[in-house]
Amino acid sequence: MLADRADFAHDCGVDPVLPDFTLAPGESGDVLVLTGALVVSTAGPIDTRLRAITTPITAIDLGGVTAIDTVGAWLCWRLSRDAGAPIRHADPQAARLIAALRDVDDGRQAETVRKVRPWMRVAGNVGATVIGLVFGAVGVLGFVGQMILATGTLLRRPRRIRWRALTHQMELVGINALGIIGLMSFLVGVVIAQQGAVELRQFGAEIYTINLVGRLTLRELGILMTAIMVAGRSGSAFAAELGTMKLTEEVDAMRTIGVAPMEALVLPRVVATVVMMPLLGVYSAVMGIIGGAALAQASLGIPFFTFLVRVRLVVPTYDVWVGLIKGPVFGLIVALAGCYQGMQVKTDAEEVGTRTTAAVVMAIFTVIVLDAFFAVFFTEVGWG
Amino acid sequence: MSASDPADTRWPIRVRGLCNRFGDHLVHQDLDLDVRRGEIIGVVGGSGTGKSVLMRSIIGLQVPTSGSIEVLGESITAARDDADIGIRCRWGVLFQGGALFSTLTVAENVEVPLREFYPAMSEELLAEVAHYKVLLTGLPGDAGVKYPAELSGGMKKRAGLARALALDPELLFLDEPTAGLDPIGAAAFDQLIKGLQQTLGLTVFLITHDLDTLHEICDRVAVLADRKVIAVGTIPELLALDHPWIQLYFNGPRGRAAAAARSGAA
């Protein structure tokens, strides 16, 4: 019982007398005599012991109870109800509380959420995920359709284009990302040049480090890493912003005022990302090449500007086009995932979190899958 | 311990010289307020007079610029962080929107404070206690398994009240409990508060704009104006004072209507 005492002692300044009970034998059963303070802070342990009573109870005596609150009253009432035993010697406070509980008690068991066995839960989750994927695909398709319709409306009525929202989003997605994307790309350029040089040196072909860095950054890595960074920075922000706005009914308020959320919220974000992504991709590639050139100057003995001039000679123009074509597509995917997931939020704060996660995962996964398709496609059409 | 001091048991809330300043904006200056044990005290004041700030100061959510606040004999202003406030299990707070935890069901919401303070309680008892608390606040029994998003505004307030009552507190803080309820729902909520206060012997600190609530259930009314409590008393006592704001508040068109309804019913 020492542990029980410690449980309530640290919480409240009050130090109630620990409750206890005795069973006084009577003619047709026992009389349950309760003593001490029957309050919320002491109810836990005695409740467990009271539940363990198996002998029939004919009456409940509260004469020795020093303090009682609704939890204590509930214990008395439950025992009295279940055993059909009258309550004796209740003081006015106890009688009032027990009467109040008797009045509201609907006699039903407290409903609890049923526990599902783990293997059932696994099967259930798999099913829910599959169904979710199917409905999700239909939902995304519907969302894209709405977006195309909204774009059509805006193109017919260009005065309704929200330039301020668009430029604001372009700043958030593009300008504010310059620092982190530049630093990341520079470092990746350094790493590629370093690792490439180590391998190529074995063939005495260190000079091909330039080809490696130039082609890889312009064609693949620049835009891919930018897409991943933008998905993490802006895609998640879209989902969280729109999701919170859905929760606070801001989106509903907009619709009642006559502002289409598609036009005011979704399209500026999507267009801004589609426009900024290729720009950021090129910027990222350039920073990667500068990183490679810096490494080459420092440890390979290739002068910085020689490196840059060589890049122009060894990288075919279509590599730049490959990067530029992928840019808007990846931008569309990242923005679409963020906005779609955000607009699906309906219930609570937790959903904002799961939808934001889903937006980033969906964006990065789709970007990488599409990148593989692009790689095969461009090689097949002769842009290898 | 300090609760044995008789002065503390008669005055569960004592506010002395409270100042709250936000930047250049002085919300409270030298504010004093005493709340009697077992009363329902209504706090009124115009918008922006710092009613909610006063409540947040008393329950330790807002550190005042200066002044002292004692609740149930314990100093709130001397506490350095939330864990220092040892009487948190002796009060319950109902926030304006209910502030239910949105990822938990109503019953789980009620169980949260019980689990926090009394880990010795069995799951069965927790479920039973949550169930009867839900019933006590006038919600149907099956509301316990619902999530807050599935409840109407009035039901959210009742569920919030059930959570506020979870620990059988001595003190109940209510922030505009009837705001946003329909007149029938508001009247029922008033009676619920009054009934619970009498049954459970609560002291209730109630912020409200609802004149009907003030007339129906408040034992005393504290008026906040000019950055302090300018008067505390029953409504007739307040009306006897010749303060323009109090006159305007209780004798404006809405105030007269509420008073007329009150005297008509009596």
How confident is the model over A289-315, as pLDDT tens digits? Answer: 999 999 999 988 899 999 999 999 999
Give the CA diameter of chain B. 57
Question: What is the complex's ipTM, to 2 decimals?
Answer: 0.78
What confidence score (pLDDT) does residue B74 get?
Answer: 81
Please give, rounded to a whole number of angstroms, the shortest distance from the CA of B169 to a CA of chain A: 9
**The predicted structure's pLDDT at residue B266:** 54
Nearest to B103 among A11, A44, A349 (CB): A349
Domain count across chain B: 1
Q: To which H or E segment does residue A68 belong?
A: strand A57-68
Write out the residues of chain A at the interface with chain B, using a CB-CB cutoff of 8 A: 4, 7-8, 11-14, 39-41, 43-45, 47-48, 51, 69-71, 74, 78, 93, 96-97, 100-101, 104-106, 108, 110-113, 346-350
Q: Order across the sheet with B171-175: list the strands.
A: B91-94, B171-175, B203-207, B40-45, B220-225, B228-233
User: Which chain B positions have a beta carbon within 8 Å of A100's beta carbon?
Assistant: 136, 199
What is the share, in percent, of chain A residues with pLDDT greater than 70?
Answer: 94
Burial of residue A324, with CB atoms counted within 10 A of its CB: 0-12 exposed, 13-18 middle, 19 or more buried: middle
**Mean pLDDT calculated for residue range A134-140:** 91
Long-range Cβ pairs for the range B121-125 (8 Å, 24+): B121/A43, B121/A44, B121/A47, B122/A44, B122/A47, B122/A48, B122/A51, B124/A47, B124/A51, B125/A43, B125/A44, B125/A47
Distance from CA of B201 to the nearest CA of A (A): 9
pLDDT of residue A4: 38
Tell me, what's the pLDDT at B246?
A: 86
From A137's Cα to the closest Cα of chain B, the distance in A is 26
The pair of structure tokens assigned to A285 is 């590639």
How far, CA to CA in Å, does B91 sit from each of A148, A163, B58, B104?
55, 52, 11, 22
Task: Determine contact: B128 vs chain A, CB below 8 A.
Answer: yes
Q: Do A70 and B149 touch (CB under 8 A)?
A: no
More confident residue, A222 or B3: A222
Cβ contact (<8 Å) for A101 and B132?
Answer: yes
pLDDT number for residue A20: 85
Q: Which residue has the higher pLDDT, A379 or A28?
A: A379
Using a CB-CB cut-off of 8 Å, the residues of chain A touching B125 are 43-44, 47
Q: Which residue of B has its CA nearest to A351?
A: B103
Predicted confidence at residue B6, as pLDDT, reads: 46
**Residues in chain B within 8 Å Cβ distance of A12:** 86-87, 89-90, 117
Asked if the Cβ–Cβ distance from B119 to A7 is below 8 Å, we say yes
Pair of tokens at residue B206: 């109630």
The answer on pLDDT for A11 being more than 50 is no
- What's the pLDDT band for A369 if we cut at 50, 70, 90? very high
Q: Does B75 touch chain A (CB under 8 A)?
A: no
Distance linking the first and last C-alpha atoms of chain A = 78
> Are B121 and A104 a contacting pair at CB < 8 A?
no
Domain limits at B227? 2-265
pLDDT bracket for residue A168 (50, 70, 90): very high
Q: pLDDT for A224-275, tens place per residue? A: 999 999 999 999 999 999 999 998 888 888 888 888 889 889 999 999 999 9
Interval A338-358 mean pLDDT: 91
Domain with CATH 3.30.750.24 in chain A: 2-104
* Domain covering A2-104: architecture: 2-Layer Sandwich (3.30)
User: Which element (helix H / strand E) includes A123?
Assistant: helix A118-156
3-state SS class at A135: helix
CATH number at residue B110: 3.40.50.300
Angle at B49 between CA B45 and CA B54, to 5 degrees: 95
Q: Give the H or E element holding residue B263.
A: helix B253-265
Q: Does B1 touch chain A (CB under 8 A)?
A: yes
- Across the interface, which of A11, A44, A347 has its CB nearest the CB of B125? A44
> How far is Cα B186 from Cα B178, in angstroms, rounded to an integer?
5
pLDDT along chain B (266 residues), means of 10: 52 88 87 90 86 88 86 80 76 86 88 87 89 88 87 88 89 87 84 86 88 88 88 88 85 78 68
- pLDDT on residue B265: 63
Q: What is the pLDDT, as a whole number, of residue A7? A: 38
Residue count (chain A): 384
Binary contact (B118, A40; C-beta < 8 A): yes
Distance between B195 CA and the closest CA of chain A, angstroms: 10
| pLDDT at residue A13 tops 60 | no
Within 8 A of A113 by CB-CB distance, chain B residues are 105, 145
pLDDT band of A1, cuts 50, 70, 90: very low
Asked if residue A103 has pLDDT above 50, the reply is yes
Chain B: give the shortest CA distance to residue A349, in Å.
7
Smallest CA–CA distance from A109 into chain B, residue: B128
Cβ proximity of A40 and B114 under 8 Å: yes
d(CA A258, CA B184): 33
- Rounded to the nearest angstrom, the minimum Cα separation between A212 and chain B is 51
Q: How many residues does the structure list for chain B?
A: 266
Read off the pLDDT of residues A187-198 as tens digits, 9 standing for 90 and up.
999 999 999 999
The per-residue pLDDT for A83 is 83
Predicted local distance difference test score (pLDDT) of residue B2: 41
B chain contacts of residue A346, beta-carbon cutoff 8 Å: 149
Yes or no, beta carbons of A7 and B3 under 8 Å apart: no
pLDDT at A147: 92
